[in-house]
C-alpha cells in the first residue's frame, strides 16, 4: 500500500510541474502578443502622421502652383501652425527665385508635435503674363451616389 501512495505523490507532483511550465509558456506567449500589438499600434500611429504630413505638403505645394511661386509669399504665410485637420503640424515654405527663365525652387518642411520633420522639394515654373486662372468647376454637377451605384451596384 505504501508503494501506491508514493506513486500517486509523484504523479501529483508531476502535474504541478506541468502546470507551472504551462503557465510560464503561456506568460511568454502573451508577452510576445502584447509586444507585437504594441509595436503594430506604434507603426499605425506613425503611418497616420506620415499620411497627414504628406497631405499637408501636397496642399501647400498645390497652393504655390495655383497662386504662382512669385505671388504665394504675398498671399499666404510662409510659416505657421497648420489649420484643421493639420493642427498637430507646423510648416515652413521656402521659395527661391533662381533668375529669369528658370523655375523656382520650392521646399516645404512640415514638423509634427512629436518633433518628427518631413520635407519635400520641387521646381515650379513661374506664372507668365496675365493668364486667367482656368475655371475649375465641372460643367455639370457630379452625382456621386449614381456613380457608386453604377460601379459597385449599391
Q: What does the domain layout of the chain look like in residue ranges?
A: 2-152
Report, as an integer, the average pLDDT of 111-122.
96
Are 89 and 56 in contact, with CB atoms under 8 Å apart? yes
Q: H or E element: which one contains 96? A: strand 89-96
Distance between CA atoms of residues 65 and 71, nearest Å: 10
> What tens digit of pLDDT does each residue of 96-109 get?
998 888 999 999 99
90 pLDDT more than 90: yes
| Percent of all residues in the chain with a pLDDT value above 90, rounded to a whole number | 64
Residue predicted with more confidence, 9 or 107: 107
The set of cell numbers assigned to 66 is: 495655383
Which range is least confidently modeled, 8-12, 74-78, 123-127, 139-143?
8-12
DSSP category for residue 77: -
Q: What is the mean pLDDT of the chain?
A: 88
Report, as an integer, the average pLDDT of 50-55.
96
4 pLDDT more than 90: no
| pTM, entire model | 0.68
Cross-strand partners of 151: none
Report, as an integer, the average pLDDT of 114-133.
87
Amino acid at each position: 500500500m505504501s508503494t501506491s501512495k508514493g506513486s500517486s505523490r509523484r504523479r501529483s507532483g508531476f502535474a504541478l510541474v506541468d502546470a507551472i511550465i504551462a503557465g510560464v509558456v503561456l506568460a511568454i506567449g502573451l508577452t510576445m502578443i502584447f509586444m507585437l500589438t504594441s509595436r503594430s499600434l506604434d507603426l499605425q500611429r506613425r503611418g497616420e502622421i506620415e499620411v497627414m504630413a504628406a497631405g499637408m505638403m501636397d496642399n501647400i505645394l498645390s497652393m504655390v502652383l495655383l497662386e504662382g511661386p512669385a505671388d504665394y509669399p504675398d498671399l499666404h504665410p510662409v510659416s505657421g501652425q497648420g489649420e484643421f485637420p493639420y493642427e498637430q503640424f507646423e510648416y515652413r515654405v521656402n521659395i527661391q527665385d533662381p533668375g529669369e527663365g528658370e523655375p523656382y525652387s520650392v521646399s516645404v518642411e512640415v514638423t509634427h508635435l512629436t518633433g518628427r520633420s518631413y520635407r519635400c522639394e520641387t521646381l515650379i515654373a513661374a506664372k507668365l503674363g496675365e493668364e486667367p486662372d482656368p475655371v475649375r468647376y465641372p460643367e455639370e454637377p457630379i452625382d456621386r451616389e449614381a456613380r457608386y451605384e453604377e460601379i459597385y451596384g449599391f
